[in-house]
Chain A
Amino acid sequence: MITTTTMASATGSRCLYRTLFHRYGLLSRGQVRSLCSVPPEDGKAPEKQESAEAKANEKKAAAKKKLNDLLASLATTDRIPVERTNSLKLSQPKPRQKTKAPKTEAEVPPPPPEEQVIEPELAAATKEVAKSLGGDVEATESELLSTLKSHALDTSASEKPSANLSELFVGLKVERSQSKPVFERPRRKRYDRDDHQRMQQGTQRPDEYVRPTRVTSREYVKTDIFGGEPLKIFSSEESKAKEIVESACPVWDATHAREIQQTVVQPPSNAFVEMIQWTRQGKLWTFPIDNEIGLEQEKKIGFQEHVFLEQHLEGWCPRRGPIRHFMELVCTGLSKNPYLTVERKKAHIMWYKNYFEEKHDILKEIGAIEA
């Protein structure tokens, strides 16, 4: 317990001082709202002010929350006297703003002029807040400013570095309600794991949580998507004049193109689409139907080489007689055969040639060839 307390105070001290002395932080968002005449829409703060204030407010809220958390954690462990922390050598923070020389409380100065207490940016910001809140702008602004002023006085009074943490806590209201679970929708990207998990579990948070309430109107505001001021990094003339530069990595580009194409492939939605897929994979005859598809070798060979085979008889076959007769029949048969390549046909004829040469003696004997 002790260690946690001291640790919390040691690590948190810097942050605590910073937030305490951050004079904006003392003006909570709730206070702003209570000042203005517009009733709050709901439990949520008006977040949509489209200006620096939104961000400043967020920061304020974050700072305030941090502070509250820290104070709450200190407060819950306050069985240990806070004075304990005295023994620790806490680093003394530097005052955040350039301050006037620290004044003792006995000689409280007359309220300095507005500009001195409240920086011009802050004043300007206040004006904008007042405007964005609507209602009686001037009244709101002056109310805000007066509150700021009073806080500014408070802070400048307490800006003298305090040695004692417990002194700081006096008069500070710590919001203990922080211990209640805060239903805050976790920030998520538009399309993320959350979604997926929710889908898997089949549950979804009820819409009350999903829809953050928006304050701005739903009026259509036109955005010209090409109407911005160009960056003027590239000059258009130059790029038009230049030829498209060849990519340095053709294989990469081809692979990428293929992968991209695959990301949009869906399971075939009808038989035709499936046939397209099969055609691309080379499993189907391609349209329009062509009997010679895939016969790449044959394309180089003319039909005459298939049909006129007698030329291959020249030189070895007798000019007439039964062998000539037989070989002519062979040639006719081969010329009508669509299933054999020219090479095979030639090989057939050559086989007969060899055969007859082997049997040359017998053939001569029976007079099938002339001597």
Chain B
Amino acid sequence: MAGAIPRCSVRHLQRLFGSCSISAPVRSVRTSSGNRAEEIVIPNRIPRSSTDILEALASTVGRDSSGPHYKYSDDPYLTPASNVAKRSFSLSKESGRKAARWIRDKHSDLFTHRPEDPFIEAFYPKISFTDESDVSEDTLRELMQKCMVSDAIQVYQICKTKGVELSDSVRQELLEFLGYYNCEDALDEDWVEERWYRQGIMSRDRIRNTWKDHGLAEELFKSLSHQGSPAYCALIRGMTRYYQVDRAWQMYQETLEKGIPLDTETYNSLIRVASLMREGSDLRWKLVKEILTAMSEAGVRPNLGTLNSTLESLSQIASWRQTKNLSLQVMAEFNRLGIQASLASYYFLLIIHCRERGPISHILIDIMNHIADKEFSIQDPKDTFFFVTAMDVCRNHLHSKELAKRVDDLLHTGNNYMLIGDSYKESIYYRHYFALSCSTDTVDQFMELYNELVPHIYTPEPGVMEELLKALKVHEALEYLPQLWSDMIVFDHTSREKLLMSVLSAMTCHQPSEDNTKLTEQLATIAWDLWTRVQRMEEDRRNKITWSGPMIGDLLTTLVRCGEYSKGVEVMQKISADPHIVLGSATVDSLQTLLDAAIGNDEANTGVMVVVYAVDAGHQEAADMAKKLGSSLTLNAEHRAKLTSVLGIDIIADLKEKEISES
């Protein structure tokens, strides 16, 4: 990773050094030594922003998949591996910052020492306002600049009570500002982690009218001396943003009546919610078309937002037969207008074309052909949905690993990785990628991917882990099981019954031989570790694992097969002493394996215990097992009495009689 400078960084450096290319000095030296004197052109100074150098430097550092993320403490002991740990580590760190800031704001009178010059505002308590504060329009503008909604509202109220005259322009600005945030505080831009973990939750279930009716925004609207186009635009945008659809539509009708022109974004916002205003696919589309026509007639220039809103409306009627065709028409229309589609547009196309129960559409291939190797920046809030959806389509719709690889390459082109969105989308993205690789690749290819991404970039969820274990079992690639088991311990997966079941059943496939003695030992260790872990769980644990018949059977089989006979006996003793710890009973096969081992080790005690257990469990084969035991080992009187008491007949005597009669 560190060896080669990524392509993008070369570009960055070139931009930094402008026309003065790196090889230039060498060439000029050579020419000056020659006869012909060449004119030296000194390039003009290129103005740089304050972060250009840092950006160029940052672009030379790639993501190191073998180390933890930069945000975690640089200490192997403190490196989180499981998803829960990752989340709580990052959020705790931020929580500490939050606590510090809270103290600072709460006791702002203690932070008055200001040695630095220039003054760094970010380090000082924020100004709090009271009714006596000296406020003006500029205070309001500054607060809007800093995105402090509740303070802006407070200052507005103070202005009102103190009778400070506010001009229409600042009222309009405040209207736009409050309309955007619906008079609610936004998440501070410093809380990156919180946003990183929260966004997945926030972006759902938002289709719900949350607009504050008759709130401050509407009050501002009424207080304007002249309610012109900007005021209407701001209010309609605000209402549609928070799904107050009916009143937004009313406002729109009002503007039509009064002949007030609207701007592009306002039309876009109306198109976006058009499908909430009508029932029935054709009526919805008709409405969208109506608004588009109105835009065209008003001479309003459409933009990317128009394209995306139209597609978003279409995506809400994706089950309609004509939608697919219409979406392509829309794309063609905007392409004709010279509007470049953004990732969000492609995301909507994917939703429209790749329906779960619809016919297979290969549109993703066409999209990838179109956008491969391109770099994107965020242009639409929905841009971040593209990658996760594309990967979903690769996995569930097209089952194409090759395509998934292309999507992944695009994600790692330039700065595209920032468009992954948030932790939730990231982990779904990798889940799909993993599961696809698991079902299409060979085990070795898959494990290569696993080793690259796990655990620092992605931690498999239990569901993915289960599929993985199943794949290992199917491909009989048990050599990876020890690695997976240790990962499972680190990821805190060992308390999940399904996973333990998969591990146990995979281990029974192992056939010990001369070549794999090391693996045999490892598997025996795993089996024993698993048993002790489950036994150690406290009784009152919420989801305590109960042994099931097949599980205990697989455990016994594995232990015996892998040469840990004595441990198998220990387990057997435990389950015959407290049969209630097992739901059901150990399988016949495993009991027979254990019995064979007992016979092999010449341990009549164990043999009798196994047979007694088999009888208690009600296995039909118990009698045969007893016969086998009786014929292979010499049993003492106590053993015979035990067998007789449980079986009801003296099998050994029967056997002997039979032998005698046969001989």
Contacts and interface: CB of A to CB of B under 8 A. Distances in A.
Contact of A262 (B181, B189, B266): B189
B69 A202 contact: no
Nearest to A280: B51
B336 A230 contact: yes
Interface string A223-267: 111111111111110111010111111111101101111111111
A246 B263 CA distance: 8
Contact of B229 (A195, A248, A252): A248
Contacts of B338: 236, 240
B331 A249 contact: no
A281 interface: yes
A359 interface: no
B381 interface: yes
Contacts of A272: 54-55, 57-58, 61
Which residue among B70, B367, B396 has the maximum number of chain A CB atoms within 10 Å of its CB? Answer: B70
Q: Chain A, interface size: which category?
A: 35 or more
Contacts of A89: none
Contacts of B388: 191
Nearest to B266: A248
B464 interface: yes
A235 B302 CA distance: 11
A196 B51 contact: no
Given A231-B333, A272-B58, A204 B177 contact: no
Contacts of B399: 218
B482 interface: no
Nearest to A261: B378
A252 B237 contact: yes
Given A255-B147, A271-B70, A224 B51 contact: no
Contact of B335 (A226, A250, A295): A226
A252 B463 contact: no
B300 A233 contact: no
A357 B190 CA distance: 57
B521 interface: no
Interface stretch (A91-99, A112-120, A171-179, A282-290): A282-290
B81 to A, nearest CB: 15
A234 B201 contact: no
Nearest to B379: A260
B50 A279 contact: yes
A260 B344 CA distance: 13
Interface in B308-325: 321, 325
B461 interface: yes
A204 B363 contact: no
Interface string A56-73: 000000000000000000
Contacts of A190: 350-351, 354, 356, 389, 392
Which residue among B181, B196, B332 has the maximum number of chain A CB atoms within 10 Å of its CB? Answer: B332
A1 interface: no
Interface string A327-365: 000000000000000000000000000000000000000
B359 interface: yes
A198 interface: yes
Contacts of B360: 48, 214, 216-218
> Interface on chain B toward A: helix, strand, loop, or mixed SS?
helix
Interface stretch (B421-429, B559-567, B591-599, B639-647): B421-429
Nearest to A240: B338
A283 B180 contact: no
B122 A283 contact: yes
Nearest to A242: B301
Interface stretch (B113-121, B582-590, B628-636): B113-121
A273 interface: yes
Nearest to B262: A248
Contact of A244 (B118, B301, B435, B461): B301
B122 A276 contact: no
Interface residues of B, number: 122
Contacts of B496: 202
Interface in A184-216: 187-193, 195-196, 198-199, 202-204, 207, 210-212, 214, 216
Given A199-B427, A236-B337, A268-B70, A286 B292 contact: no
Contact of B69 (A267, A279, A283): A267
Contacts of A242: 299, 301
A260 B378 contact: yes
Given A199-B461, A249-B230, A260 B180 contact: no
Contact of A223 (B144, B363, B381, B421): B363
A222 interface: yes
A125 to B, nearest CB: 14
B353 interface: yes
Contact of A231 (B57, B330, B466): B330
A233 B296 contact: yes
A244 B289 CA distance: 22
B362 A263 contact: no
A224 B332 CA distance: 10
Given A233-B333, A268-B71, A269-B63, A203 B462 contact: yes
Interface string B370-393: 100000001111001100110010
Interface string B496-531: 101000000000000000000000000000000000
B408 interface: no
B204 A193 contact: yes
Contacts of A240: 338
B461 A263 contact: no
Given A230-B336, A288-B53, A282 B121 contact: yes
Given A204-B464, A264-B418, A196 B201 contact: yes
Nearest to A247: B263
Nearest to A58: B357
A248 B357 contact: no
Contacts of B295: 233-234
A357 B117 CA distance: 35
Nearest to A210: B396
Contacts of B361: 221, 223
A81 interface: no
Contacts of B173: 251
A274 interface: yes
Contact of B192 (A250, A265, A295): A265
A47 interface: yes
A234 B463 contact: no
Interface of B: 48, 50-55, 57-58, 61, 63, 69-71, 90, 117-123, 144, 147, 172-173, 176-177, 179-181, 186, 189-190, 192-193, 195-196, 199-201, 204-205, 229-230, 233-234, 237, 262-266, 289, 292-293, 295-296, 299-302, 321, 325, 327-333, 335-338, 349-351, 353-354, 356-363, 365-367, 370, 378-381, 384-385, 388-389, 392, 396, 398-399, 418-419, 421-422, 424, 427-428, 431, 435, 439, 461-464, 466-467, 496, 498
Given A196-B200, A216-B360, A263-B421, 9 more contacts: A48-B358, A196-B424, A217-B360, A228-B330, A234-B296, A234-B337, A255-B177, A264-B378, A276-B51
9 A-B pairs closest in CB distance: A294-B118, A204-B463, A228-B328, A286-B50, A272-B58, A202-B462, A228-B332, A252-B176, A228-B329
